[in-house]
A and B are shown apart, each in its own frame.
Chain A
């Protein structure tokens, strides 16, 4: 019976928090975008003329097929992250694509039409060097894989190994390339650096060594970088030190023939590493005897190797990018050459003759807010009149892919930089023009300057404008209503962006690791602006701050991005308008010293921009903006500005106070010995977080007050000893102002990675328990007790009593990728934890399940308080997945932002994919439902109204009659 009651209680509790998406709501409030990452290999599906697939293998270990008409994904396979899933090579033949994955660990074959796996085999260990397809008598049936010390041949049909052979002298010879051209032999090419080149010819039939030669080549160190096989087995290399081209006949292997570049009248640009590109249209046939030679950043040549003689077919200068493409029997070279600052022209040249093909010009407009083009992927096809047509996919520095058709129509663009979002912010949209007009009209300045009459006139004019927009809106509604629904498009552009009633639509400012910034409309997911920052260091750390929101019309909103080189510590600031993406006119200060810390103060200058303080390695502070007003304010408040620095390499946490002359003084120091444990994360609270209630009402109607220290830091450490019996995780709660250690706990027999969320008066962390081999959640809550020390204001300097600390732990049935808490406008709505799971789901776990006051034994009081009885396991309920079937691959971060509605929190999950949705942790208590019956309510109202009227009348008559009697 007790259990039944318990179950019932549970059900009642759960009933309140179950919230799921109805089928007709799918896609209404949420959207997902899927990305693949920076492209490493691309192959156009050519086995069918009408095919519209391009295969992409990327540096994010993704293999995908994309529709060349629309740019959408056909299918996508996401492999493990890191070197384990690294795609080393892609061999594409007909319907199959063979991938070498994980430094030659696995060989996989995919059916490209549906994206299904044909077969997969595990190869022997050994680091991968090269792979190629091997054909015989015009058909391709095998693939050769070259590793450090072995070469193996595999059937394309089932992956079985045909033969495997050890490479001779693999300790000294560094084998780097494998080549086959359909004559029944497989050549393994190796080099002994600055000495000689080794060529081993294997029989494709049984793996027998047919020939083994070494040829003097003291100038050579890297075959793939400087050599290519051209024509009839001629290994052709280019060397910048001797300024020569060398050729070696792989069939006869007599010696290297040196052809000085000077004899051809050519010269390498100083400091440039020349590069050779050959083309093998079919793996069972010989490569073309024409090849491309790059002599400078914008200097390419089309050369022909003819009986050991090199003939210059065409000199392309200036030419940024050159690429071969084959269709049918024709091979062309596509050449991209700059036209002017904003456009590039692409032309086709016949590979055999070097003649320019007629009507093949294509104009590529270079977006000034995008990176320079980096690679050219050409899809050539035969037109009806047997001439060659083509489309190109341009890959640029910012990882964007642009697919262009003749004469320059952009068919689609994929912003692959968005597959690696580093940080983001959500900014409110600005008011509409009319709203802004009203704001301006009743601004302070206007009222003082103008008299009564002009104010009336202004009022009338603005009313007129409002009427006008309203009529226009009505007209649009009427016009749209006549069209079928599918044609009505709500195009969002920067011009018609405006805040909606409940501030549910916001601008998502996303910073990607490539240095490209995006402004995305949160409602539709369309990219409204993009801005590429060039010369971003590869290991940069980004910090995005909103200095001024949209609330301060007519001052434009302002965001500041701090870009810091992790090695040198040198930083730069990029100040921009988050709504339009334009660089701000405000000149950021030049930062000559390495920056240790940046902090955004709640102080504002006269233009309502929050003050950003930057602490350099001399512990000097500079302010941005640094106007007189700001400096004065800083001087006044300096004594109350404290900040902390973390040096995790020395385990040092130190607190500083600002002095009036903008120097700093150290006021506290905590040192955690690095020999025992390392600081892995330091988490403060979010500055825009509101807590509505100061305490919790207990079962006996007394109040337990929360310890709401805004400057509390949660410091997580991991032990250096990783032995499963001795490893531990340390949690330190430190006051960021005084350095006082509020609470110190160790979770023994636990290991990272630790995910922490710190909010209100609680800290939730997740870790791996080495003892029980499972993931566990732990929650710490801090309470002041039954009395508040000082209820009006919280000061870290005046809180002598340590808070009560409650802690409880739970078992969680899955590992997690990331974790964040929901955030609402006023903090009335109950909190949920949003947990990104490796499976791609985003779980919305009510915080009430992670409550250290959950009782072991149910009592009357705990029931009164609505506490759920303690159960050691947290259960994942499928209806808690906020992204239903919209899997978000490799979630790295979840961003939450409050909306204008208290019940609603906006959520963006980013990783390889981006997913945006809304969550309602306490259901939509402040919104009428979609199917709210207005008709019924109003008819009832009217009926009641008339009923009262009639009954009143009747009563009057009755009274009158009674009076007469």
Chain B
């Protein structure tokens, strides 16, 4: 069920991305004469993968990521099919419990010009190749950006994630990637919520205000007792004035 759901989500997302890419296309179509605007709206970087028997990194292009810059960056992916050769190799690597690795170049998503978004180095992540095979190439790739829009990390998981050793018979299952792609910016951590707390306190005091009997303070309730006590004390004190003090003053 969960798988179905996520599959649905994947379909939804892919649909969404198609729409958004379409939208971008439309945008491009309208403003042909404005090259700066097209650069602003997005750029594409290669998504590369590597799976080798000796686990050396030989990265090949798997597809291209179309990154849309701006306040709310989004991403879409167009990717190639796995060739027959690659499929065989992936199965071999999976058999020896090798790694399937992906990498994307570091980019800056808030850049205005093309020269600025490129940065040195790559971000890499991996899954076990067997998980890739057993999930029939259905993976979830997440790109993480930091506050200012730098891409800081990439992560890949497969669904299902486990390696159970089930043989994948059908070659066709390993042909097309079924990728769910998303881009994540950091969430804002909450601060102490004083406003809500104060509101709650106010509500409570209001509730109390409706009931004047309870609102009476200690003094308001027992003033006569306190007054009586005080008078009593004064009376007892004045009955015996300190004789010594009086004499000294006179």
A interface residues (Cβ-Cβ under 8 A, vs B):
1-3, 639, 657, 659, 665-673, 676-677, 719, 728, 730-731, 734, 738-741, 743-748, 769, 771-772, 776, 778, 780, 790, 797-800, 807-811, 856-857, 870-873
Asked whether A856 lies within 8 Å of B146 as measured between CB atoms, the reply is: no
Q: List 7 A-B contacts (CB under 8 A).
A: A739-B125, A739-B153, A740-B157, A744-B184, A745-B189, A747-B188, A780-B189
* Nearest CB in chain B: distance from A421 CB, A: 33
Distance (whole angstroms) from the CB of A381 to the closest CB of chain B: 58
* Further 13 A-B residue pairs, CB within 8 A, beyond A669-B121, A771-B191: A665-B55, A667-B124, A669-B123, A671-B106, A673-B148, A741-B144, A741-B152, A741-B153, A747-B191, A769-B191, A800-B157, A856-B200, A872-B193
Bound together, the chains give a CA A610 to CA B155 distance in angstroms of 32
Contacts of B209 in A (CB 8 A): none
CA distance A537 to B236 in the complex (A): 81
* Given A740-B157, A798-B131, A872-B194, CB of A809 within 8 Å of CB of B189: yes
Q: How would residues 192 to 216 of chain B score, 1 for a CB under 8 Å from any chain A CB and 0 otherwise?
A: 1110110010001001100000100
Quote the shortest CB–CB distance from A786 to chain B (angstroms): 12
How does the 8 Å CB contact mask read for B139-158 relative to A, with 1 for contact and 0 for none? 01010101110101101011
User: When A668-B125, A800-B159 are in contact, do A728 and B147 touch as well, CB less than 8 Å?
Assistant: yes
Bound form: Cα–Cα A870–B124 in Å: 41
Which A residue sits closest to B203, measured CB to CB? A2
Q: Nearest Cβ in chain A — how far from B2, in angstroms?
A: 8
Interface contact A2-B186, CB-CB below 8 Å: no
Check A809–B190 contact: CB distance below 8 A: yes
Rounded to whole Å, the gap between the CB of A721 and the closest CB of chain B is 10
Residues of A close to B152: CB separation below 8 A: 670-673, 741
Bound complex: CA A3 to CA B209 (Å): 13
- Which residue in A665, A745, A780, A800 is a CB contact (below 8 Å) of B161? A800
Known A-B contacts A730-B146, A856-B200; the reply to A668 vs B193 at CB < 8 A is: no
Bound complex: CA A798 to CA B128 (Å): 9
B131/A744 in contact, CB under 8 A = no
Q: A744-B144, A746-B147 are in contact. Are A809 and B191 (CB under 8 A)?
A: yes
Q: Quote the shortest CB–CB distance from B212 to chain A (angstroms).
A: 14
B185 contacts across to A, CB distance below 8 A: 744
Contacts of A668 in B (CB 8 A): 124-126
Residues of A within 8 A of B190 (CB): 778, 807-809
The bracket for how many chain B residues form the interface is 35 or more
Minimum-distance CB pairs A-B, first 3:
A740-B155, A670-B153, A800-B161
Partner of A797, one of B106, B122, B161: B161
A729 to chain B minimum Cβ distance, whole angstroms, is: 8
B136 at the interface (CB under 8 A from A): no
Q: Which residues of B contact A669 (CB under 8 A)?
A: 121-124
Q: Which residue of B lies closest to A852 (CB)?
A: B190
Is B49 an interface position by the 8 A CB rule? Answer: no
B160 at the interface (CB under 8 A from A): yes
Assembly CA distance A273 to B110 (angstroms):
60
* B148/A676 in contact, CB under 8 A: yes
What is the CB-to-nearest-CB distance from B153 to chain A, in angstroms, rounded to a whole number? 4
> Which A residues are in CB contact (< 8 Å) with B194?
811, 872
**Residues of chain A lying within 8 A (CB to CB) of residue B186:** 730, 744-746
CB interface residues, B 26-81, toward A, < 8 Å: 55-57
Q: Is the CB of B192 within 8 A of A811?
A: yes
Q: Answer whether residue B187 sits at the interface, using C-beta atoms and an 8 A cutoff.
A: yes
**Are A666 and B193 also in contact (CB < 8 A) when A677-B146, A739-B153, A745-B186 are?**
no
Cβ–Cβ contact B157 & A748, under 8 A? no
Other-chain residue from A657, A670, A811, A856 in contact with B196 (beta carbon distance below 8 A): A856
If A667-B99, A730-B146 touch, does A748 touch B155 (CB 8 Å cutoff)?
A: no
The yes or no answer to B127 lying at the interface (CB within 8 A) is yes
Flag if A671 contacts B140 (CB, 8 Å). no
A2–B187 alpha-carbon span in the complex (Å)? 35
**Contacts A2-B204, A738-B125, A800-B161 hold; do A871 and B146 have CB atoms under 8 A apart?**
no
Query: Provided the pairs A667-B101, A797-B131 are in contact, do residues A748 and B188 lie with their beta carbons within 8 angstroms?
Result: yes
In the complex, chain A residues whose CB is within 8 Å of the CB of B196 = 856
**B101: A residues at CB distance < 8 A:** 667
A91 CB to nearest chain B CB (Å): 50
B97 at the interface (CB under 8 A from A): yes
Give A1 to B208 CA distance when docked, in angstroms: 8
Contacts of B131 in A (CB 8 A): 797-798
Is B168 engaged at the interface, CB distance under 8 Å to the other chain? no
Complex interface bits, B176-190 against A, C-beta within 8 A gives 1, otherwise 0: 000000001111111
Q: Cβ of B146 and Cβ of A776 under 8 Å apart?
A: no
A745 and B125 form a contact (CB under 8 A): no
For B119, give the chain A residue with the smallest CB separation.
Answer: A673
Q: In the complex, what distance in Å separates the CA atom of A730 from the CA atom of B150? A: 14
Q: Across the interface, name the chain A residue whose C-beta is closest to B126.
A: A667
- List chain B residues, Cβ under 8 A from A810: 192
Residues of A contacting B144 with CB < 8 Å?
741, 744
A747 cross-chain contacts in B, Cβ below 8 A: 188-189, 191
